[in-house]
A and B are shown apart, each in its own frame.
Chain A
Amino acid sequence: MNLDIRWPIGLLFAVFGMLIFTYGVLGDPQPSVGLNVDVIWGAVLGAFGAVMLRLARNAVARQ
């Protein structure tokens, strides 16, 4: 396969994470059960995306 699937997964979640996080900070979304979940979950998504991108890069480095 000329495309390691971790690239698109990592990229999508990094982009989603950043957008949702930024919206949580600037967009003043309605709190859910008292939490600004966009900020929290945006960070989680971004972190997962970063891990995937890192794994994909490591795989390239190993080759």
Chain B
Amino acid sequence: MIRLAFIDWALLGIYFAFVLGIGWWLKRDIRTSDDFFLSGRRIPAWVAGLAFMSANLGAQEVIGMAASGAKYGMATSHFYWVGAIPAMVFLAVFMMPFYYGSKARSVPEYLRLRFDEKTRGFNAISFAVMTVMSSGISMYAMGLLLNLLLGWDFNLSMWICAGIVLLYILLGGLTSAIYNEVLQFFLIVFGFAPLVLLGLRDIGGWDGLQTGLVRVATDQGFAPGVWSHSWQFMGATTENPMGVEWFGLAMGLGFVLSFGYWCTDFLIVQRAMAAESMQAARRAPLVATVPKMLFPFLVIVPGMIAIAMVHSGHSPISLPSKADGSTNFDLVIPMMLGHYFPNGLLGLGLTALIASFMSGMAGNVTAFNTVWTNDIYSPYIRPNANDAHLLWMGRAATVVGVLLSLAAAYLAASFNNIMDVLQLVFAFINAPLFATFLLGMFWHRANGHGAFTGLVAGTACAALHHGLTLPAHAVAGVKGGWIALHHVYPSEMAQNFWTAIFAFGGCLTVTVLVSLMTAAPDRHGLRGLVYSETPHAADETGSHLGLTATLGLLALCGAIILNWIFW
């Protein structure tokens, strides 16, 4: 257990005071529901971009990526350089003009404008459930970690953090959440950078790390370079610890999962939608690509250092086991914080960790209150509510959202690998979604009936595939195979990637078929919503298309170079 000194408590206390202070200061900016839900569309590009990046940088991400770094090594970078950058560029260059240009307040609202009410309803309800669940999982993980690490009371730490999040969102709405995300971004960068630097210094620099990783690989029966390379051992599922091959990786993660998440998940897209102009909205995901490209060094490398030390035989840190006897990789970051950080720096690291848990919750709650008020309450429950009532409802939904998250946190207790569960949820709900958006934005013939049946079919395909397959050494149930067992994948990750591919394929096929069998949508109504129906040169997007595309291309080049260096 880690012992905190007065200085560490002081830093944490100061951070809490700042968070609430920001909310209190922003309170005067909140006059209409647009201010509360969309920051009045006044956020500058760089702030929107960093918030865009850190809305995804919850503590699960930080802890989970370090855990994956230990489990899989450099190949974990695929979640960044393959599974994020291309999708972020695509969003900025091709999709943002329709999200921002349509003046929709949310992703589900875009679906209503482009398709129909039922497609929006399906998306809005599933999204609302998902955000509450993710936020609950995040809170649960935090309560557990703080209890294990510091001996804090599980319930008390969870309720205090939830209370602070609730207060600052009630005060400052989305702006509060965004500002705190940006603050958390810098805390994570400055809180974890010394961990990497000290770890590398201890293990003998980058070369020392590589030598250590050879042992990690050979100890587990793999070729010596497996932990240091991202692509070299992706030829066959048996060659790497992820148990995936290049096609499943590129298609499943690089295309379906990644585009489904980065281009359609409202939690993320909301940050760009709140930007001050179309140009800023398109710039936001591009701004985010820069830190996103560099983050593997901050979050994956600590895991690699830890595992290399453990296998060296004289490790200063040890990784505890879970109840089933397997190594608990989720404790890589906390264990390293405890070992390398003296009091003082420890307070900073702990604040960064708690900040990322809290901003993860805040992100989910702000997305939830928007979707609930804008896409469920306003259209179905009280269609003629005035703006003041909607603003009140947004605040009420914030309270309910936090309470539901806490309820979900208590439910989340039975899951242990946070990342795998989140991936599974994304696969079921988000994977078919990208097919819907792709067709909606780039094929004018796609209609509401097609989109809705396609989404249902895609989600069903995902469930069916999951129900018929199982990862190796797993028992039928939550891991899959709950209908019958038709195929065994070498790993859970491979199964997730293929679930996503089937969901996408199913949704795409059914949407096209049903759209062709039913009436075509009115083409005049699609202006500003579909690529072919929207004039490009005349509006403000036209003049910046060149620059946005150029910046996007630069980001892609960066990702390619990184993949090549660590090939």
Contacts and interface: CB of A to CB of B under 8 A. Distances in A.
Contacts of B201: 33, 35
B340 A32 contact: yes
A5 to B, nearest CB: 5
Interface string A14-28: 011001100110010
Interface in A31-45: 31-33, 35, 37-38, 41-42, 44-45
A27 B348 contact: no
B344 A8 contact: no
Q: Which 8 A-B pairs have the closest CB atoms?
A: A29-B342, A38-B344, A23-B344, A20-B344, A30-B342, A23-B7, A33-B202, A33-B201
Given A8-B183, A23-B7, A37-B194, A2 B344 contact: no
Interface residues of A, number: 29
A41 B14 contact: no
A56 interface: no
Interface of B: 5, 7, 10-11, 14-15, 18, 21-22, 25-26, 28-29, 39, 42-43, 47, 175, 179, 182-183, 186, 190, 194, 198, 201-202, 340-345, 347-348
Given A1-B39, A8-B22, A19-B10, 15 more contacts: A1-B29, A1-B42, A2-B28, A3-B26, A3-B179, A5-B183, A8-B18, A19-B344, A20-B7, A20-B11, A20-B344, A29-B342, A33-B202, A35-B201, A48-B190
Contacts of B342: 29-32, 37-38
A60 B43 CA distance: 17
A43 to B, nearest CB: 12
A50 interface: no
A41 B345 contact: yes
A44 B14 CA distance: 19
A59 to B, nearest CB: 10
A32 B198 contact: yes
B434 to A, nearest CB: 32
B340 A1 contact: no
Nearest to B194: A41
B18 A13 contact: no
Given A1-B175, A5-B182, A45 B348 contact: yes
19 contacts: A2-B26, A2-B29, A3-B29, A3-B179, A5-B179, A5-B183, A8-B18, A8-B179, A12-B15, A15-B14, A19-B344, A20-B7, A23-B7, A29-B344, A32-B340, A33-B202, A38-B344, A41-B190, A44-B190
Q: Is the interface of B mostly helix, strand, loop or mixed?
A: helix
B336 to A, nearest CB: 11
Given A12-B183, A13-B186, A37 B18 contact: no
B21 A8 contact: yes
Contacts of B21: 8
B341 A32 contact: yes
Contacts of B341: 32, 37
A16 B348 contact: yes
Contact of B344 (A1, A15, A42): A42
A12 B194 contact: no
Contacts of A31: 342
B43 A27 contact: no
A27 B344 contact: yes
A29 B39 CA distance: 43
A40 B28 CA distance: 39
Given A27-B7, A27-B343, A33-B202, A12 B348 contact: no
A36 B169 CA distance: 38
B46 to A, nearest CB: 9
Contacts of B28: 2
B43 A1 contact: yes
Given A8-B21, A13-B190, A33-B340, A20 B182 contact: no
Most chain B CB neighbours (cut-off 10 Å) among A11, A24, A38, A48: A38
A3 B14 contact: no
A27 B42 CA distance: 44
Contacts of B11: 16, 19-20
A44 B185 CA distance: 16
A45 B14 CA distance: 15
A29 B345 CA distance: 10
Nearest to B200: A33
Contacts of A20: 7, 11, 344-345, 347-348
Contacts of A42: 344
Contacts of B194: 37, 41
A37 B15 CA distance: 21
